[in-house]
Amino acid sequence: MAESTTNEQKSPSQLIDARIGELGDWRGRTLAHVRALIRQADPDVVEEWKWRGVPVWSHDGIICTGETYKSVVKLTFARGASLEDPSGLFNSSLEGNVRRAIDLHEGDELDEGAFKALIGAAVALNGTKRKR
**Geometric angle at alpha carbon 14, from 10 and 20, rounded to 5°:** 135
pLDDT at position 128, please?
Answer: 79
Q: What is the pLDDT of residues 99-120, one digit of tens each?
A: 999 999 999 999 999 999 999 9
Q: Give the CA dihedral 84, 48, 103, 83, nearest 10 degrees.
A: -10
pLDDT at position 132, please?
Answer: 46
Domain annotation covers residue 132:
no
The CATH number for 25's domain is 3.90.1150.200
Domain count for the chain = 1
**Domain carrying residue 116:** 11-127
Q: What is the pLDDT of residues 35-73, one digit of tens each?
A: 999 999 999 999 999 988 999 999 999 999 999 999 999
Summarize the confidence of residues 82-106 as an average pLDDT. Answer: 94
pLDDT at position 1, please?
Answer: 43
- Average pLDDT in the chain: 91
Is residue 73 helix, strand or coil? strand
Is residue 117 helix, strand or coil? helix
The enclosing H or E element of 50 equals strand 46-50
* Distance, CA of 102 to CA of 76 (rounded, Å): 6
Domain annotation covers residue 4:
no
Domain annotation covers residue 53:
yes
What is the value of pTM for the model shown? Answer: 0.89
pLDDT higher than 60, residue 4: no
* Distance, CA of 77 to CA of 100 (rounded, Å): 5
